[in-house]
Amino acid sequence: MSDQPFLELRDVTKRFPGHAAVQDLSLAVPRGQLLALLGPSGSGKTTTLRLLAGFERPDRGAVIVGGVDVTALPPAARHIGMVFQHYALFPHLSVGENVAFGIPRGPGRTARVRQLLALVDLAGFEHRRIDALSGGQQQRVALARALGPDPKLLLLDEPLSNLDPALRERTRRELRAALEAVGVTTVLVTHEQDEAFALGDVVAVLRDGRMEQFGSAPDLYERPVTHFVATFVGRAATVAGTLVAADRARVSDGVEWPVRVPQAVAPGRAVRVVVRPEALRLGGEGGIAGTVRARRYLGGRALFSVATPLGVLEVEGAVDAVEVGAEVHVTAVRAHAFPAED
């Protein structure tokens, strides 16, 4: 797989009356990779997808696909496949007819439909009715139809949001396997972190039309560059503190936590310290005193809610680590510190 960019957004901005939906967005994705656009509602995910598809035109910037500037091209000229959130399948057509819809007529059309249905594990479903399929099967028909014309770029608009959790997990694995087999460069829009991390080779976290961070799932989770990313990705608590050294922050009298500081902050400055449940420890002495108020069973582990002077901290630990009501001390093995004004 080449590391040369296949998909590029160069300083793209799109404004609507009263606000900028996308602002100065630049990113590059190599051929064959899946980019996940992750963010809350209103972050610019869907507008970015519409700009890629050609449904919207940017006010500034360029969209490059395969080295070709497609910014001014209409959707039909971009050779892009799209799976919509609600699939947009034709209920009056069979499964095979839906998949064949975008494939040029010719002697190889039937074979292409069979190939695509086999790819998405629906071999032999050509004559089934759409309303006879499960939600996951409909999603795979939509994917096969989008891949039919052999697109240069595939766009997925929250394709798993209509599925129940158990079916979503299975369909996610099937979707990933199909995309890896085809090798098509793909952009996925989602507000679900698990979905972005499971499917994306790279993830762009968006907020208010701007990109907060771009990188792999481990980069975002373990090395967030802003307070927003640190708290939006994964479970985390934020407490006020003071940076006392390049790698330590005081969060209470006599209590300091080891911190990673991704932005320039001088010692003595106020910071917001972000800590995740798995980075906290329950002990009998030292640390922040607190009382265990609740325990949530996670299977092999448990999540303890501990009331402390800093607020309620969630601590992950062994199921039998402590009982509800126990007096404990909470310490941190790692955390992230950001400027108080970030």
Q: What is the mean pLDDT of residues 256-268?
A: 92
Q: Please tell me the class of the 235-339 domain.
A: mainly beta
Which residue pairs from 167-170 have beta carbons closer than 8 angstroms and sit at least 24 positions apart in sequence? Answer: 167/134, 167/135, 167/136, 168/195, 170/136
Whether 258 shows a pLDDT value over 60: the answer reads yes
The structure's pTM equals 0.88
Domain coordinates in residue numbering, the chain: 5-229, 235-339
- Across the range 258-262, mean pLDDT stands at 94
Pairing of strands 255-260, 335-339: parallel
CATH superfamily for domain 5-229: P-loop containing nucleotide triphosphate hydrolases (3.40.50.300)
> What are 186-241's pLDDT values in tens digits?
999 998 899 999 999 999 999 999 999 999 999 999 999 999 999 999 999 999 99
Query: According to the model, what pLDDT value does residue 138 have?
Result: 87
Give residue 3's pLDDT. Answer: 63
Instruction: For residue 235, give Cα distances in angstroms to 198, 253, 272, 306.
Output: 17, 26, 15, 15
Interval 268-313: pLDDT, tens: 999 999 999 999 999 867 799 999 999 999 888 999 999 999 999 9
Taking the chain, what is the end-to-end CA distance rounded to the nearest angstrom?
Answer: 38
Is residue 1 over pLDDT 50? Answer: no
Residue 286, pLDDT score: 75
